[in-house]
Structure 1
Amino acid sequence: MTENAVRETEHAIDVHAPAASVYALITDVGRWPETFPPTVHAEVVEQDGDTELIRLWATANNAAKTWTSRRVHDPDRLSVTFRQERSQHPVGGMGGAWVVEPRSATSCRVRLLHDFHAATDEVDDLDWISAAVDRNSTSELQALKDSAEAAGPAELFTFEDTVTVEASGKDVYAFLNEAHLWQERLPHVARVSLQEDEPGLQILEMDTRTKDGSTHTTRSVRVCKAATAIVYKQIVLPALMTLHTGRWLIEDRDGGGVSVTSRHTVRINTDNITKVLGADATADSARDFVRTALSGNSLATLRLAKAYAEGLAGEPARP
């Protein structure tokens, strides 16, 4: 095989929505975790006119990866070109483009182009990348179509809980970051498994106890930013949700201490409402149920994190 051979792929989908609306979803990377299943977190690192540097955290072939890409927006042509600036093994380099082609006032075709090569000359690595690109491109285009064509009121809802802690934010962060200890520290956690192959990028799987004594399994990818925030997305969800992203946020308070917030963004799985909650359940009761359950667990975690950090703060200073 020729060293660093380049492969090119194209995936496309027809969308029954105005081209400008679809293009807006592509350009706003802050909404990508809600729009695209593989994306865990995305943020703009720097921006200069139509050129931006973004950092993405996403799953690829069931592994968690992060990389930075340089993107150039062309609103006149409804395209966004991209090129990874720092790829992760086994990717040696990758670029491409999103192209939105209007078909009518209310429909368009979206093309997603990629070119890539492996970091080695191993054909297995190039095949791995091809499989990941194919899987993610198909998933992303379908998710883009679903999001753009969605009608009616917004399906997503966001809520949060906050506690104040008279202690160091670093100690609060340590409690939240050390999720491998949650089975010992949190009563609602029955089992936990934490994988962290790259510092700050975790895959967390746990069994959570419900009020009736049963358990359900969730699996999340977590992006950990030391002492300030942990952002996560569940990739294995309870039956009542099709999307759950969250954030633990630690902020300094005037006069000392920190505010610690647990924020959730959720989309209800409407197909499972009556299966899980009974024949009389509605979308509103499902939202209330999910919010009560998630807030209950979050507040329990926040209060124990508070007790842990304030307990450390009350200990005698170590020599």
Structure 2
Amino acid sequence: MTRRRAARPAVRHTTVEEQELCAMRYHLSHSVVCAAPPGRVYDVIRRSADWPRIFAPCQAVTVLEQEPDRELIEIRALVGGAPMTWRSRRRFLPEVCGVRAEVVRPMKLVAAMTTEWRVVAVNAQQSLLLLEHAYDLCEDVAGQVEGVTTREQAEHFIESAIDANSATELGNIKAAVERPAPPADERDCHARHSVVVGAPADTVYGLIRDTTHWPRIFDACLGAASVGSDATGELVRIEAAQDGRTVAWETRRRYYDAIRRIDYHLPVPMPFVASMRGEWRVVPLGTARCLLTVDRHWRMLDDVRGVRDGVTTVAEAAALVRGFVETNAAAEMTALRAYAEDGIDTLTEITTRISLPHPPDAVYTLLADVAGWPKLLPHCEGLELRHDDGRHQEFVLEVRTAAGAEAFRSVRHCDAERLSIVYFQPEPPPLLLRHEGSWQVRAADDGGSEVVSRHTAVLDAVACEKAFGTAELREHKRRVRDMLDGNSRRTVEACAQALEHRPRPANGAAPAPVGHGG
């Protein structure tokens, strides 16, 4: 939270509003950084009717006049501990996420006042909320507020009151916009995923229709077996990995081969879910290209207690199921495309999410500063920086592993506005034929951040068999995903230590010899 006073400016402003602001004798400015996009913050400052529920000093707001771009309101609030009422004519400036207001019936001690709210984007995850007051005091202040008899006392009273109320209001807004909005009904959920595939529609439809392909194509699928069928559909039992556990459910599938559509519902749903239904669709985009889409609609159980240790509320269970659906559906789309286009069944994906009690931009800065990685990462032995213009980077990173030193080349695109980094490795580690991924830093509800690391890798089956001592593809994928996840976590933990000013361990644990986070 910041504040500043501004002396009366000497320059002449051109607009009427700026001339009015310039004419005022006293100026105060307060600001706060919110872990929310500008639109969400602007929505709160625009909806004055909600202020008594959000702002601690505000007791009541009455809307006297209202038009699409302006309103006249009466406010009753505590000012310096004293109840006061005033009227404010507010003009909305959505093009700059701002509100400009003139106090037309001022509070006690104040002859005239204007205020301006302005929301400025810091990046895609954070915004700066600015609140500025310009005001003049009454010529005669005696008798208006108990204990205030001189102009100096009036100056101190109003300045202290604005400081206190502004700090409280900005803190209230920050808390409101960083708090997750409750869904209309957290039990009813929907998700849609789609991908364009460079393969004939019939080929792609065949892959989603014949579930015997699924354990080989999809990382999460441990097994798929038909337990009954008829002329139009079948009942399939699915076993899948979910957060290190094996879960199972049954799905009733109905086939519409002529239009390449599969409808399904789950008579025996997955854990936490009361019902689920949806559909797969394959739409031709030419002879060798199609659009694959899957819709999922599900309803959570009314009571989720006892299904899994540590999950006691519907909200917790809903977040768990949605995370599983989102992560696995995205991986399914990528894997199906790779298999349909190139016959690749060695592709694997993993998404790692880590929460940190640090601002998103601070975390992103460390991830983007690849030149500082030799000092940041305990397992980094050296770095050859070939190009870095702040957005595009190319480097060769040498890391220490249990098998010795390894080097791989990465090309990255850094977007400081979106707090994201995407990369690919033209020369990946020995166990991989291809490796690409991304870092995304997001604002968290508690004011900290969430780091999302995504990896997509194509395994070198021969190298994996030699390294792991088994020809089992599923085991190869599991081990590589464990390595990718471990390296992502070590990198984020190193960022956390740097932000907490903790010294780096003298001897960092040797990372897995594959797929550093680029």
**TM-score, scaled relative to structure 2:** 0.31
Structure having greater relative contact order (Cα 8 Å, sep ≥ 6): 1
